[in-house]
Structure 1
Amino acid sequence: MNISWEEIELYLRHTFVTARESKKNVKRVIVKLEDDGFYGLGEAAPSPRYSESVETVKNFLNEFNKLISENMSLYTTLQMLNNLNGNYSAKSAVDIALYDLHTKKLNLPLWQYFGLTSDKIINTSFTIGIDTTENIERKLDEAHEFKVLKIKLGCEDDIKIIQTIRRYTDKPLRIDVNEGWKNLNKAIELIKYLEDNNIELIEQPLPSEMLYENNRLREQTTIPIFADENCKTFEDLILVKDYFDGINIKLSKCGGIFNAYLMIQVARYLNLKIMLGCMIESSIGISAAAQLASMVDYIDLDGNLLINNDPYTGVICKEGELKLINEPGIGVMKIEK
């Protein structure tokens, strides 16, 4: 088995603003595994929030390359991968490429390999970042086909943003604060306002270290509160089960498809609701995550829809619904220029 990788740059359709950062472009690492005339693709979407970067991904891949050999099985390689410390976005890229390669050899779509279905209607939310009233209205017009919207909050204009949206549409909203509400009393005030605005859930309203305050916030609302930054990997589930109503699982946070699959099953046992989310990614990362979509309650897989130079095709989005492709592996192909 041979491994190679390349760095790519993805450009956003709009400047993407959250409570934490503003960005116009992101750098990602595409991993390719080749064996017996087949190849598998994976994508690393490192986040500074988790102390990862393109450089940490490349360093990990260089070390991983020294450990693999030609005759290693999928399970042996996965076991070795997960025994290595940290670097979850890099692990995710290798994990995705391994599963893509393995299921291409078996001539099976990855969802079928896991015994899942492609028939479930999968409505993804579409994300609108923090912005001016004029730009939000423009983004809402662009998002007209989506049945659910994900709204970034965590700034001084949170109420104004919701008022702008509600003048335009009554669609269900999912709120993502990205740890942006630093004060509990202010958070309670904002969440009370949101109660009557058709809100499906709120992601990570408070900083990750404010777990006690998060429970106090939960007592003030009927809106489910989901952990994002507080729930990165499998080990975090036991901690968050007493503080949140649900979790957001992302392949680049948890280390890939294998770990996400396990997290979903344990989260079900713990009675946690589950969202399958993403970073800003190409169709490789989005198509990989979509293979598990039939297992979860909510889908937020729009990262490839927020960019204007996706180098790959994969899972199809039509009228806000994701449709898995009945092709071997994760179903992605590079767009020929």
Structure 2
Amino acid sequence: MELNFELKTLLLKETFSIAYGNYDKREALLVELSHQNTKGYGECVAIDYYQIDLKNFTFRLKEIQSILEKQPVVHPKDFFHFLSGLNLHPFLMSALDCAYWDLFGKLENKSFIELNSLPSENLIESSITISVGNVEEQIRKIEKSKWNKFKVKCKGLDKHNVDRLLQLDRNLALDSNASFTEEDCRWLQENNEVQKFSYLEQPRPIDQYKILKKKGFANWMADEDCQDINSLEELIPYYKSVNIKLMKCGGLTPALEMIRKAKEQGYKIMIGCMTESTVGISAGCLLAGLTDFADLDGATLISNDYASGNFVENGRVILSEKLGLGIELK
């Protein structure tokens, strides 16, 4: 097996504004694993509020390259067990895990869906993200869009803006990226109208969630608070829903197990994404048949996508039905 990797720059179609800051581009690391003239692809991106340094990831890949390339082609779960012993950051592990699933499926002449007996029809629709901004501008974007589901970003709580959004007859969620105060959360979870939002994502800074009441009107969804399978047990009294992202938990292999456990514990589940190319989104799309919500708009937000595969069109998740993860570079 051979490892190759390359740093890429993803250019956004317009400035992406969230509570953490404003972004016109994202840096990405494309990982390629190849064997017998067959190539598999994975990706991770640099997110500043996760303190991701992709150059450090490339140094780490160089350190493990020789041992990784000596590995025989085994089942992806066995390969993930090997990766787990290398002390890798979950973002980097995700890129390698996804690249290996893509490679393995192509070598086995099977898709990821076939290999894991996953549902592939009647998939949940994805939301599209509406950046932080003037509420009237946000509403204009919603009304102009061909999508049916929307995740509206906000920085702090403006009750007037919430009221304006609730007046719309649209499927809306609210994502504060940890910018709500405790008082904001009390008001939201005690407000009957708030249950019109499909979910309210990551209201408080990490580990400051104990003000939340699961039995309130708000469908609180954990994002940064829910990093991996070990987070689930602690969050049960506070969150109704969790956002599972491949990069957070370490890839497709742990995501499958995390979804299983989250369902057992009664959570509603979203398969989410960062700002990613179709390399990353293709992997996430494959899990849409297992979840209650999807937020897989990452590739639709960029202007220089360098891959094809599974994708989202006006919210509809479309699977390519190709081998592996279905990824091809343009």
For the aligned pair, the TM-score class normalised by the smaller chain equals: over 0.9
Task: Say if 1:31 and 1:42, in contact at 8 Å, map to a contact too.
Answer: yes
Task: Say if 2:105 and 2:112, in contact at 8 Å, map to a contact too.
Answer: yes
How far apart in 2 are the matches of 1:237 and 1:46?
25
How far apart in 2 are the matches of 1:72 and 1:275?
34
Give the aligned partner of residue 46 of structure 2. Answer: 46
Gapped regions of structure 2 (runs ≥ 5): none
Give the aligned partner of residue 15 of structure 1. Answer: 15
How far apart in 2 are the matches of 1:239 and 1:83?
26
Q: Does 1:328 align with 2:323?
A: yes
Give the aligned partner of residue 236 of structure 1. Answer: 231
SS at match of 2:212: helix
Task: Say if 1:44 and 1:57, in contact at 8 Å, map to a contact too.
Answer: no
Give the aligned partner of residue 82 of structure 1. Answer: 84
Give the aligned partner of residue 214 of structure 1. Answer: 212
Task: Say if 1:283 and 1:313, in contact at 8 Å, map to a contact too.
Answer: yes
How far apart in 1 are the matches of 2:203 and 2:80?
34
Task: Say if 1:56 and 1:87, in contact at 8 Å, map to a contact too.
Answer: no
How far apart in 1 are the matches of 2:263 and 2:288?
14
In the TM superposition, 1:1-337 aligns within 5 A as 1-75=1-75, 76-133=78-135, 135-142=137-144, 144-155=145-156, 158-165=158-165, 169-181=168-180, 183-192=181-190, 195-196=193-194, 198-215=196-213, 218-219=214-215, 221-335=216-330
How far apart in 2 are the matches of 1:267 and 1:41?
27
How far apart in 1 are the matches of 2:197 and 2:135?
20
Offset at 1:185? 1.4
How far apart in 1 are the matches of 2:239 and 2:182?
16
Offset at 1:254? 0.6
How far apart in 2 are the matches of 1:310 and 1:138?
26
> Relative to structure 1, is the Cα distance of residues 263 and 196 closer, same or farther in structure 2, using a 3 angstrom cutoff?
closer
Offset at 1:255? 0.6
Offset at 1:83? 2.2
SS at match of 1:223: coil
Identity of aligned residues (%): 29
Q: Which region of structure 1 is more displaced relative to structure 2, 104-113 or 132-141?
A: 132-141
Offset at 1:184? 1.0
> Relative to structure 1, is the Cα distance of residues 194 and 180 closer, same or farther in structure 2, using a 3 angstrom cutoff?
farther
Task: Say if 2:120 and 2:289, in contact at 8 Å, map to a contact too.
Answer: yes
Supply the AA of the counterpart residue of 2:67: L
Please give the TM-score of this superposition, normalised by the length of structure 1.
0.90
Encode CA deviations 1:156-212: one digit per residue, 9 max, x unaligned.
6x3344455456x4111111111111x211332345558257201111111122132
Task: Say if 2:195 and 2:218, in contact at 8 Å, map to a contact too.
Answer: no
Encode CA deviations 1:39-63: one digit per residue, 9 max, x unaligned.
1000012323333221232133222
How far apart in 1 are the matches of 2:189 and 2:132?
17
Supply the AA of the counterpart residue of 1:102: F
Offset at 1:71? 4.7
Q: Which region of structure 1 is more displaced relative to structure 2, 59-68 or 172-181?
A: 59-68
Task: Say if 2:123 and 2:288, in contact at 8 Å, map to a contact too.
Answer: no
> Relative to structure 1, is the Cα distance of residues 44 and 74 closer, same or farther in structure 2, using a 3 angstrom cutoff?
farther
Task: Say if 2:11 and 2:24, in contact at 8 Å, map to a contact too.
Answer: yes
Task: Say if 2:190 and 2:217, in contact at 8 Å, map to a contact too.
Answer: no
Offset at 1:138? 4.6
Supply the AA of the counterpart residue of 2:146: E
> Relative to structure 1, is the Cα distance of residues 14 and 271 closer, same or farther in structure 2, using a 3 angstrom cutoff?
same
Gapped regions of structure 1 (runs ≥ 5): none
How far apart in 2 are the matches of 1:92 and 1:59?
17
Please give the TM-score of this superposition, normalised by the length of structure 2.
0.92
How far apart in 2 are the matches of 1:37 and 1:282?
23
How far apart in 2 are the matches of 1:71 and 1:278?
29
Task: Say if 2:8 and 2:30, in contact at 8 Å, map to a contact too.
Answer: yes
Task: Say if 1:279 and 1:303, in contact at 8 Å, map to a contact too.
Answer: yes
SS at match of 1:49: helix
